[in-house]
């Protein structure tokens, strides 16, 4: 038997069979367009998500609204089960996700007032709505993890059965992988840092003596995005900047010029134009340390000498790395490189820095590159470094095999079975839950055909 509020909503659905055009939404934002169990989806719910997507740069069209509707209905199926399973909200994740969304949107739109104007409601109300959304989201994610987690680890028999039943061309391709070692030498950072600070101090003095900050930013700043706007960054949350930059900006009164501020991007002069709570609009001039031809010539000569000694078996590459390399993370491992994101000692091509790949792409196992200019893994873009690279091992690209790629295949099979379990859950819930969808969305091509059986009558 349908609950009273559901019956009323169903009646509204049937009585308000409006056109499927997004342009007809005005004035009917509270119209219920879908019922999923005890949950209601309104046009307002869909349009709120459209606005969030728009604030984050996504295009708004009919397809987006169909996608959002299906996503909301699917989420409600998981949410309903999460409540049945008495799962608890992860408060830490909720607060983190809420803060990230608010900071991104405030920065994208240019401040609290612009956010309120864009969404047509006060920020505290948006916080309340989004807080509830993220509470629901963490329950949904936990329920999905519960379902996926019931899929057991794959046995050798599971993997063998997968290989025997799947078309050979559908087996995953393992790309070429490289195991590499390096010896690194850094340029004279202290001298370069001192030189750039001297240049910034000169600019700061010129600004204090009356020259225009924006003009000097256009001429000298090495941040191309803001330089053409006179160094202006726009109203943004302090959380999106490096802490040292945010701390300096938040401590300045509008119109004052900061001392030199160092961040992983380089060295800055900052002028704050406006502050509002934890947001600010500032100009900055960014300069990065510049290294000389002499730095490169000296480093290349040292690296070339080391390379020659290794090739002539006067010293092993690993021992040379321990003695001469200035890259702390790899020096202690005899120069062996590891992916900072995964910890793996094997690199696929797209995991290598472009400069490194160009240097080793034609080398065979055991060969050492000529000295090159590259970047390390520090800061946003990396610091300049000179290096030689040895190719320790090459794993050619190949179709995954049971003998050589068992772990990858086992993970592939498990992910496939987890996706199957989630699909099966959703399809079963669509069949066995009370679902009603307004015919105004009848033109939507949903990913799951089961939804199409639940449209109310015109």
* DSSP secondary structure of 217-243: HHHH-S-HHHHTTTTB--SEEGGGS-H
Asked if residue 14 has pLDDT above 60, the reply is: no
Asked if residue 20 has pLDDT above 80, the reply is: no
Architecture of domain 190-287: Roll (3.10)
Instruction: Name residue 274's beta-bridge partners.
Output: 281
pLDDT at position 12: 31
% of the chain surpassing 70 pLDDT:
93
Mean pLDDT of 148-154: 92
178 versus 133: the higher-pLDDT residue is 178
Q: Is 110 left (phi over 0), alpha (psi -120 to 50) or beta?
A: left
pLDDT tens-digit map of 274-293: 998 888 999 999 999 988 88
Specify the range with the lowest mean pLDDT, choosing from 16-30, 40-54, 90-104, 188-202.
16-30
Asked if 177-187+292-396 and 190-287 have one fold, the answer is: yes
pLDDT at position 19: 31
Asked if residue 343 has pLDDT above 90, the reply is: no
For every residue of 44-74, DSSP letters joined together read HHHHHHHHHHHHTTPPP-HHHHHHHHHHHHH
- pLDDT classification of 17: cutoffs 50, 70, 90: very low
Asked if residue 296 has pLDDT above 60, the reply is: yes
pLDDT at position 10: 31
- pLDDT classification of 211: cutoffs 50, 70, 90: very high
Can you read off the two tokens belonging to residue 144?
């999905």
pLDDT tens-digit map of 352-409: 999 999 999 999 999 999 999 998 887 677 889 999 999 999 999 999 999 888 988 9
Instruction: Name residue 181's beta-bridge partners.
Output: 336, 390
Mean pLDDT of 29-36: 86
Domain limits of the chain? 4-84+418-454, 177-187+292-396, 190-287
Determine the topology of domain 177-187+292-396 in CATH.
Chitinase A; domain 3 (3.10.50)
């Amino acid at each position: 038997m349908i609950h009273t509020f559901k019956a009323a909503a169903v009646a509204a659905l049937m009585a308000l069979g409006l056109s499927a055009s997004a342009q007809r939404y005005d004035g009917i934002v509270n119209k219920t367009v879908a019922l999923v169990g005890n949950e209601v989806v309104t046009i307002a719910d869909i349009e709120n998500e459209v606005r969030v997507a728009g604030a984050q740069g996504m295009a708004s069209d009919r397809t987006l609204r169909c996608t959002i509707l299906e996503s909301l209905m699917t989420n409600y199926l998981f949410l309903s089960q999460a409540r049945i399973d008495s799962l608890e909200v992860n408060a830490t994740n909720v607060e983190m996700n809420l803060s990230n969304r608010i900071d991104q949107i405030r920065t994208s739109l240019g401040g609290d007032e612009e956010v309120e104007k864009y969404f047509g409601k006060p920020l505290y109300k948006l916080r309340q709505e989004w807080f509830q959304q993220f509470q629901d989201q963490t329950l949904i994610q936990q329920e999905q993890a519960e379902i996926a987690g019931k899929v057991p680890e794959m046995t050798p028999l599971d993997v063998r059965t997968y290989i025997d039943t799947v078309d050979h061309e559908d087996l995953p391709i393992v790309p070429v992988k490289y195991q590499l070692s390096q010896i690194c030498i850094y340029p004279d950072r202290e001298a370069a840092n001192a030189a750039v600070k001297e240049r910034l101090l000169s600019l700061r003095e010129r600004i204090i003596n009356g020259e225009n900050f924006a003009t000097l930013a256009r001429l000298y700043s090495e941040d191309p995005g803001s330089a053409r706007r006179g160094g202006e960054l726009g109203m943004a949350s302090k959380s999106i900047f490096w802490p040292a930059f945010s701390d300096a900006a938040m401590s300045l009164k509008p119109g004052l010029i900061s001392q030199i501020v160092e961040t992983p991007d380089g060295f800055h002069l900052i002028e704050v134009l406006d502050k509002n709570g934890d947001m600010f609009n500032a100009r900055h001039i960014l300069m990065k340390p510049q290294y000389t031809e002499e730095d490169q010539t000296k480093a290349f000569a040292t690296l070339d000498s080391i390379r020659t000694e290794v090739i002539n078996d006067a010293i092993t590459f690993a021992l040379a790395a321990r003695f001469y390399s200035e890259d702390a993370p790899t020096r202690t491992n005899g120069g062996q490189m590891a992916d900072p994101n995964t910890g793996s000692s094997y690199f696929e091509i797209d995991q290598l820095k472009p400069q490194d790949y160009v240097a080793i792409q034609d080398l065979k196992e055991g060969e050492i590159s000529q000295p090159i200019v590259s970047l390390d893994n520090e800061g946003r873009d990396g610091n300049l470094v000179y290096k030689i690279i040895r190719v320790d091992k090459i794993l050619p690209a190949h179709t995954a095999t049971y003998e050589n790629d068992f772990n990858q295949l086992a993970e592939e099979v498990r992910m496939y079975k987890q996706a199957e379990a989630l699909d099966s859950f959703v399809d079963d819930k669509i069949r066995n839950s009370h679902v009603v969808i307004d015919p105004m969305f009848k033109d939507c091509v949903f990913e799951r055909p089961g939804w199409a059986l639940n449209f109310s009558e015109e």
